[in-house]
Each structure stands twice: as structure tokens, then as C-alpha cells.
Amino acid sequence: MPILYHASASPYSAKVRMAAAHYDVILELQSVVTTEEPAALLSANPLGKIPTLVLDDGFATFDSRSIMQEIDRMSGKLLYPRNANKRRLVERLEAAGDGLSDVLVAQVYEKRYRPEEKVHQGWLDKQAAKAERSLDWLEANIIPVRGKLNGGQFAVAAALSYAELRFPERNWQRGRPKLRRFMQRFSETCPAFETQKSM
């Protein structure tokens, strides 16, 4: 059985876990603490980052977008449209969802790993502004949930659940009715959302 090294709060891990569970791709989930640099993770991924997927033949792949492509193949090509124009929209949406996760995670790490006196507030403010712009872009460009869920939608749902987990005071839903509806429909369509989202 393929092994997925992951962390429960990671939005990138959540994206992969939700997609795999939704499309019945069975993975052995192994939770790791990356700061402890576990040997099994480092042997699969020299960067020591999660998520990392190790297939039955020992082939390891990392970065959530690369893993999503593997899950797409394992699911029988269910995650991405075959039509080229539709696929490029889904791939762009996935990049936007991952980009939102990037700037949110960057803010968490700045506060978590720097001494308080060295935290750069100006840099944090720039990341927060990027997050707000990304949320506004997603409000205008979200692909509504209609039928089959795609890789871009999993990425956005993972990023928004991480925003709720780490930045509840910012209330990303305020003034964004399309994203609110998207999350409602996504959670209704994807039973794995509640158990696999960032926690």
C-alpha cells in the first residue's frame, strides 16, 4: 500500500488526503513531525517536507501538486479534466489555492520559528495583503462545485480550512459569498472534508 507522510495541520497534506479519500485511493497515512527529521521521511524526500508519497515499488514523489498527479493516475484520471481548456483552468485554480496556503503558512512560520523580538511585522503585513488579494481573486474565479470534484477545488478547500484553523479572526468569508457557497457545496459533496481537512 502506498505510504503518505503527512501532518494533520498542513493544508498541502489535507489537499492530498481529501482527494485520495474522495476518489477511493487507499493510502497508509503516516503522520510525521518534520522538525524532528524522521529517517523514513528523509530517505524518501531529501528536503524533509510533507506531503511525501512512497509508492509500492519504492518510488517516492513530493510536492502536493506532483502527488495530486499521481493520485489522478491511481484514481483512473478523475482529478483533472481531459479537455485542455478546462484543465488549464483547474491547474490555475490549484496554483492559486496552493499560493494562498503558501502565504498563510509563511505567516505562521514567521511567528513560530523566530524569536519574538525578531519577528518582521512589515513582512507579515505583506503576506497578509497577498492572502487578501488571493481570496478576492478566488471569489471572482472559483470553479463552482457541480458534479465531479477537481484538483483545483481540493486545493482551495484545503487553503480555506487552513485559514479558518490559523486565522479565524480574519474571517475570510466576510464579503465573499461565492467562496462561502463553494465551501458549503464542497463539504456536502466531499464527505472526507470533515475528517481530512487541516486540524
* Domains of the chain, start order: 3-74 (3.40.30.10), 84-196 (1.20.1050.10)
The DSSP bridge pattern shows strands 3-6 and 60-62 to be unpaired
**Average confidence (pLDDT) over 107-127:** 91
For the CA atoms of 46, 49, 55, 57, the dihedral, rounded to the nearest 10 degrees, stands at 10
Grid coordinates 495541520 are at which residue?
Answer: 9
Q: What is the pLDDT of residue 147?
A: 87
d(CA 68, CA 63): 9
Per the confidence metrics, is the pTM higher than 0.85? yes
CA 41 → CA 10, 17, 49, 123, distances in Å? 15, 17, 8, 31
Q: Which of 25, 1, 143 is nearest to 78 (CA)?
A: 25
Sign of CA dihedral 145, 151, 156, 158: positive
Average pLDDT over residues 174-179: 97
Distance CA 33, CA 50 (A): 9
By percentage, how much of the chain surpasses pLDDT 90?
93
> How high is the pLDDT of residue 114?
87
pLDDT at 9 over 90: yes
Distance CA 190, CA 181 (A): 14
Report the amino acid identity of residue 87: R
8 A C-beta contact, residue 163 and residue 170: yes
Q: For residue range 61-81, what is the model confidence (pLDDT) as tens digits?
A: 999 999 999 999 999 999 999
How would residue 199 be classed by pLDDT, with cut points 50, 70 and 90? confident
All cell numbers assigned to 73: 493516475
Q: What's the average model confidence in pLDDT over 33-54?
A: 96
Residue 118 pLDDT exceeds 90: no
Cell of residue 171, nine digits = 474571517
Mean pLDDT of 177-194: 97
Q: Which ranges constitute the DSSP H helices of 23-83?
A: 39-44, 64-74
Which residues 6+ apart lie within 8 Å of 19 measured at CB? 25, 68, 71, 79, 149, 151, 154
| pLDDT at residue 93, rounded to an integer | 98
